[in-house]
Amino acid sequence: MEGVIDGAFADPVMQSQSVFRALMDALANPGTMRKLPVPRAIGTSMIPELVSTLLTLSDHDTSIWLDEVLRSEPANVQFASFHTGAPMVAEPGRAAFAFVHSAEAMPPLDQFNPGTQDYPDRSTTIVLAVPSLSGGPALSLRGPGMKDEVHISPSGLPGDFVGQWEINRALFPRGVDLLLVADGHVMGLPRTTRIAEGQ
């Protein structure tokens, strides 16, 4: 049934293309912040950055997973289904895209789908909302898309994030990709990025 359906992009084609461009740039340039267009009015309690990535990435052919808290609100489920048509899955391991509203609601990375050797592209892309993309513990990044080292300090990552990420990176070409969103911006951490604590 319809339920909560208002508050998607006013101009779906242009806005979702701008969001897609931002996500692509974020993943191509790990650790950099990209401006993320968001819808003006929001029909759900999801933060605007999650809504705009959800509307842009998901469609009838992509399975999506919302974290337990997001999923427990019918308005979120109705909104996502109505505007994307994406099948909603209960296990993160079956999701093409996962949307998580906080680190507390985030399952360990190995619960998501890492893809297969033959089809590594079938892995889960996780969109995680964090309190801020700066002001947290310092991390240094290395890998494709970066000249030398890139330094970031997002706040509110899961406790043992660096350790989990190391395991994820070792699966290459398999592995999940991560998008961090906050304050109208997105930062990409593709599976190829090496992350170390400190400067």
Partner 1 sequence: MQTQTSFDNGGRKAALDVLAGAPARALAELWDGWADKPEHSKVRGPEVGLVMVRGRAGGGGVPFNLGEATVSRTSVRIVTGEAGHGYCLGRDLAKAEVIAVIDALWQRDAASVEAGIIEPLRRLAAAVDGKRLEETAATRVDFFTMVRGDN
Partner 2 sequence: MYVAVKGGEAAISNAHALLADRRRGDRNVPALRLDQIVEQLGLAVDRAMGEGSLYDKELAALALLQARGDLIEAIFLVRAYRTTLPRFGYSRPVDTGAMLIERRISATFKDLPGGQMLGPTFDYTHRLLDPNIVGDEVPQPVIRAAEPERAPRVTDMLGQQGLMEPDGDTDPEGEVGDLTREPLDFPLDRDLRLQALARGDEGFLLALGYSTQRGYGRSHPFVGEIRIGEVEVEFDVPELGFAVSLGRIRVTECQMVNQFKGSAKVPPQFTRGYGLVFGQAERKAMAMSLVDRALRARELGEDIVAPAQDEEFVISHSDNVQATGFVEHLKLPHYVDFQAELDLIRRMRAEHEAKEALE
Binding site for partner 2 (CB under 8 A): 1-2, 5, 59-61, 81-82, 85
Least Cβ distance, residue 61 to partner 2 (angstroms): 6
| 147: partner contacted, choices partner 2, partner 1, none (Cβ within 5-8 A by kind) | none
- The yes or no reply on residue 162 touching partner 1 (CB under 8 A) is no
Cα→Cα distances 160→107, 169, 191, Å: 12, 15, 17
Q: What's at 80, amino acid-wise?
A: A
| 81: partner contacted, choices partner 1, partner 2, none (Cβ within 5-8 A by kind) | partner 2
In the Cβ-directed half-sphere of 190, how many Cα atoms lie within 13 Å? 19
Q: What does the alpha-carbon distance between residue 105 and residue 166 come to, in Å, rounded to a whole number?
A: 21
Piece of the chain touching partner 1 by CB under 8 A; list 26-34, 63-71, 75-83, 122-130: 75-83
- The yes or no reply on residue 45 touching partner 1 (CB under 8 A) is no
Can you tell me which residue has the tokens 């401006």?
35
Q: What does the alpha-carbon distance between residue 39 and residue 171 come to, in Å, rounded to a whole number?
A: 36
Number of residues that bind partner 1 (CB under 8 A): 11
Least Cβ distance, residue 60 to partner 2 (angstroms): 5
